[in-house]
Amino acid sequence: MGGDWDDIAREQAERADETLVINMGPQHPSTHGVLRLILECDGETVRSIRPGIGFLHTGIEKNMEYRTWAQGSTFVTRMDYVAPIFNEVAYCLAVERLLGIEDKIPQRATEIRVLMMELNRIASHLVCIGTGGMEIGALTVMTIGFREREVILDFFEAVTGLRMNHAYVRPGGVQNDLPENGLAQLAEVITWLEGHLGEYADFCNENPIFKRRMMGVGIQDLTACMALGVTGPVLRSTGYGWDLRKTQPYCGYETYDFDVPVWDSSDAYGRFRVRLQEMWESLKIVKQVAERLEASAGQPVMYTDPKIGSPADLAVGPDGQGNSNEHVKHIMGQSMEALIHHFKVVTEGFRVPAGQAYVPIESPKGEIACHVVSDGGTRPYRAHMRDPGFNHLQSVPIQCEGGMISDVVVAVGSLDPVMGGVDR
């Protein structure tokens, strides 16, 4: 029926000026999903820009109120679908804080979480850099970006069984250990990334066309970032090295050696350079985790309390289906208590003490956090995610008004919004 377009057209006719109102999206290929941007332009100059969101609203947070705590991982992983592991970790850390078992999570499970997060950080940055390059004509940057991402997704598939929407991180640990050849495959991933990540700098860092399209575009200084709650590479491109892995460590990040890259230009080019360097720092962490996982082989990957620990921690059988024969034998023929706990955890879910928890972590886009409220039952009373893209889209007018229409694409791409996380 035209939505609000009739109102916009009527107001425009009453003004009787030469300002042109344009809808960019929600089907535009350069809006990074179903994002609608309403632009008022004077020629090629943007006078006003307003983001319109909500086209990908899936009701995830409300749905979680009707599912068990363990099932929440299956929902949150579908929000920011480019960085699903971070959604899962933020949610599970919040649930574990309510359960009071933060310090009881097996060390190997924490190491695997860090491994998966840092590989996912590289994959997410590759999507941002690749699609951002494609939108300004650097098609090769996109093709090689997705080439490296495929290598990481192949590893994810080997570990979790899926390339996205993993539901791999669970309250109490992770779904399963690495496969038998997991460390060997990880070594191949590391070798591949070490040999190919340098190509992005070769293609882009000093490319005069690339720099002219990005330098001085989408400027947002530190004051504006602080006022609008902007975090991640956008904040670090202003020269402020705020990274929760360093400032508020979690998952043992304080025990890893890595740096927080910053830039001082506050523009789209600075964000590109920050992400480029962050991939190398993540690879540095991945190599350290690989050494630790080699030393901790055979250790548990799930909290061992049968009243809480998900049966998914059990080794998959030789047929690749179901739980291990050892577990089936234990619950069916050796321990009535184990069978009862297994049945209750699977069908009813575990109970979480009444209270609330808020846990932020550093995702590829910025600060992602989970706020969960429990009334003492087997389901969340309330679950809410702070997605960085939601905050960042507020800054589109600051970055774009007064600039060119062509620069809107660059500015929005440098924010790296994923609408599944924005709308939820």
- Asked whether residue 11 falls in the same domain as residue 74, the answer is no
Residue 334 in domain? no
**Structural tokens at position 283:** 């690879």
pLDDT value at residue 312 = 45
Task: Decide if 387 contacts 230 (C-beta within 8 A).
Answer: no
Would the pLDDT of 223 be above 60? yes
- Asked whether residue 160 falls in the same domain as residue 245, the answer is yes
Please tell me whether residue 12 adopts helix, strand or coil conformation.
helix
- Asked whether residue 45 falls in the same domain as residue 74, the answer is no
Residues 6+ apart with CB under 8 A from 340: none
Q: Please state the rounded mean pLDDT for residues 38-60.
A: 87
- Asked whether residue 155 falls in the same domain as residue 300, the answer is yes
How many helices (DSSP H) and strands (DSSP E) are in the chain? Answer: 19, 8
pLDDT in tens, 166-191: 888 988 888 888 888 889 999 999 99
Q: Is the peptide bond before 26 cis (omega within 30 degrees of 0)?
A: yes
pLDDT value at residue 191 = 92
Please tell me the chain's helix, strand, coil percentages from 3-state DSSP, rounded to the nearest 5: 50, 10, 35
Please tell me the pTM assigned to this model.
Answer: 0.88
Task: Decide if 39 contacts 24 (C-beta within 8 A).
Answer: yes
- For residue 18, give its domain range: 5-52
Residue 63 in domain? no
For residues 329 and 122, which has the higher predicted lDDT (pLDDT)?
A: 122
- Asked whether residue 128 falls in the same domain as residue 22, the answer is no
Instruction: Identify which of 131, 66, 41 has the alpha carbon closest to the alpha carbon of residue 403.
Output: 41
Task: Decide if 368 contacts 94 (C-beta within 8 A).
Answer: no
Q: Give the mean pLDDT of the chain.
A: 85
- Asked whether residue 31 falls in the same domain as residue 106, the answer is no
Residue listed under structure tokens 């399963």: 176
- Asked whether residue 222 falls in the same domain as residue 149, the answer is yes
For residues 120 and 22, which has the higher predicted lDDT (pLDDT)?
A: 120
- Asked whether residue 83 falls in the same domain as residue 10, the answer is no
Helical ranges in 348-381 per DSSP H: none
Residue 141 in domain? yes
Q: Please state the rounded mean pLDDT for residues 23-38.
A: 79
**Structural tokens at position 90:** 């933020």
The lowest-confidence range among 87-91, 184-188, 314-318, 387-391 is 314-318
Residue 326 in domain? no
> Based on the structure, what is the number of domains in the chain?
2
Would the pLDDT of 99 be above 60? yes
- Asked whether residue 235 falls in the same domain as residue 367, the answer is yes
Rounded Cα–Cα distance for residues 346 and 323 (Å): 13
**Structural tokens at position 354:** 């009444």
pLDDT value at residue 262 = 92
Where residue 208 sits, what CATH number does that domain have? 1.10.645.10
Task: Decide if 170 contacts 70 (C-beta within 8 A).
Answer: yes
- Asked whether residue 48 falls in the same domain as residue 73, the answer is no
User: Which pLDDT band holds residue 71 (cuts at 50, 70, 90)?
Assistant: confident
